[in-house]
Structure 1
Amino acid sequence: MYIPELYKNENAEEIKSFIKTNSFGILVNQTQGKLWGTHIPLELETNLQGKEVLFGHISKENPQGESFTDNNEVLSIFNGPHSYISSSWYDHENVPTWNYIAVHVYGKIRIIEGEELLFAMKKLVDKYEATSKNPVKIENLSAETMRQINGITAFEIEITDIQAVHKLSQNRDDKNHNTIISELEERKDNNSQAIADAMKKQRS
């Protein structure tokens, strides 16, 4: 991913937190001779061997899974908040732009089965059921229901590189930076509010 030096994020803990918060990502690889992307949860977790990986799964009917063994190089894309920045907010003439946060994770994919698969599915379900009124537990599901797992291809991704960008008007002086934040906060939509908060945090 092209990232100007000014917008690089190299804070490892901040990046990990971002991935966990924005874990519905896009898995990209070469499938049947062309680029292929699938929108799925990709969970940053520690596997049974104690290594930090991404867990995920796709339907066995998805052709993407057939390519995992032939070419194990994959890209996982995680998108965060983004917002249009009007140049009318500046105290000088300039062009409009866009502020955003995103992370690309590169890695090697490996199909998992048996105990590893159940471990990954439990991590996924426990995370998203935590706030449910009546949380579902993998270990409490019937054998009949669990047979549906036979319809998925589960995998883990060994992380080889992470590239993170937070383009948050770092190139603006304090006056214009504060004006951008104020204008974003007036918009009230979630993306604008999130970018305004990120700008304040980054500048502080």
Structure 2
Amino acid sequence: MFIPEHYRNTDPEEIRKFLKNNSFGILINTIQGKPWGTHIPLELRTHADGSEVLVGHIAKANPQSNNLKDGDEVLCIFNGPHSYISSSWYKKEEVPTWNYIAVHVYGTVRIQNQEELLKALHLLVDKYERTSENPVSIDNMSNKTMHQIAGIIGFEINIKDIQAVHKLSQGRSQDHATIINELEKRGPAEKAVASEMKKLSS
């Protein structure tokens, strides 16, 4: 990913937090010479030895699953808040732009065994059911329902490289207050960008 140095995020803890809070990503590999992407939850996990992996699963019916083999290289893309930035908010004439946060993770695949897949599904469901009024649990699902697991494959991605960008009007400190003010007048996405800009400048 092309990242101008002043937009590059190199803070490991900030990147980890981003991945945990924006875990619905895009898994990309190549099928018959063409790039292929699937939108899925990809959860950041840490092994006992301190190594970090992304954990996910896809349907066996998805052609992408046929190309997920141990050792295969993949790219995972995660997007955060983003917003159009009007140059009418600047003190001096300039072109409009877009503010955004994104992370690209590169790694190699390791296919999970059935026990590992079940454990990963438990963790995934428990994470997102925490705030449900009537949370469901894999433990309480019938054998008929759980039989659907036969239709998916689970995997871990051993992380080899992380590239993170937070393009938040760095270099335009004289315009930050106006940009934030204008963004806060708009919708949830714009407000989220304004919030991130405040964190960066604090």
For the superposition of Structure 1 and Structure 2, which TM-score range results when normalised by the shorter chain? over 0.9
- Once the two structures are TM-superposed, the CA of residue 46 in structure 1 deviates from its matched residue by 2.8
What residue is the counterpart of 1:159 in the other structure?
159
How far did 1:137 drift? Answer: 1.5
Q: Which residue of 2 aligns with 1:183?
A: 182
The amino acid that maps onto 1:202 is L
Q: Aligned equivalents of 1:165 and 1:201: distance in 2?
A: 15
Alignment: residue pair count: 202
The aligned amino acid for 1:192 is: E
Distance 1:161 1:23 in 2: 17
CA root-mean-square deviation: 1.5
Unaligned regions of 5+ residues in structure 2, if any? none
Q: 1:35 — aligned with what?
A: 35
Which residue in 2 is equivalent to 1:132?
132
2:160 aligned with 1:199, yes or no? no
- Structure 1's 50 and 140: CA in aligned 2 closer, same or farther, altered over 3 A? farther
Query: Whole-Å Cα distance in 2 between the matches of residues 107 and 62 of structure 1?
Result: 20
The percent identity for this pair of structures is: 64
**Local SS of the residue matching 2:109:** strand
Q: Is contact 2:70-2:108 (8 Å) kept? A: no
Query: In the alignment, what sits opposite 1:20?
Result: 20
Structure 1 range deviating more: 44-53 or 91-100 = 44-53
Once the two structures are TM-superposed, the CA of residue 113 in structure 1 deviates from its matched residue by 1.8
* Shift >4 Å, 4+ stretches: 47-50
Give 1:71 deviation, angstroms. 6.4
Q: Distance in 2 between matches of 1:64 and 1:51?
A: 26
Answer yes or no: is 1:54 the counterpart of 2:54: yes
Compute the displacement of 1:69 (Å): 1.8
1:89-142 deviation digits (Å, cap 9, x = unpaired): 111111100000000010001111221111111111111111112211222222
- Residue pair 2:3, 2:165 contacting (<8 A) in 1 also: yes
Question: Is the contact between residue 112 and residue 155 of structure 1 (CA under 8 Å) also seen in structure 2?
Answer: yes
Unaligned runs of 5+ in 1: none
- Normalised by the length of structure 2, the TM-score is 0.95
**8 Å contact 1:170–1:203 — kept in the other structure?**
no
Question: Given that residues 30 and 71 in structure 1 are in contact (C-alpha distance below 8 angstroms), is that contact kept between their aligned partners in structure 2?
Answer: no
Q: What code does the residue aligned with 2:108 have? A: K
Between 1:44-53 and 1:106-115, the stretch displaced more is: 44-53
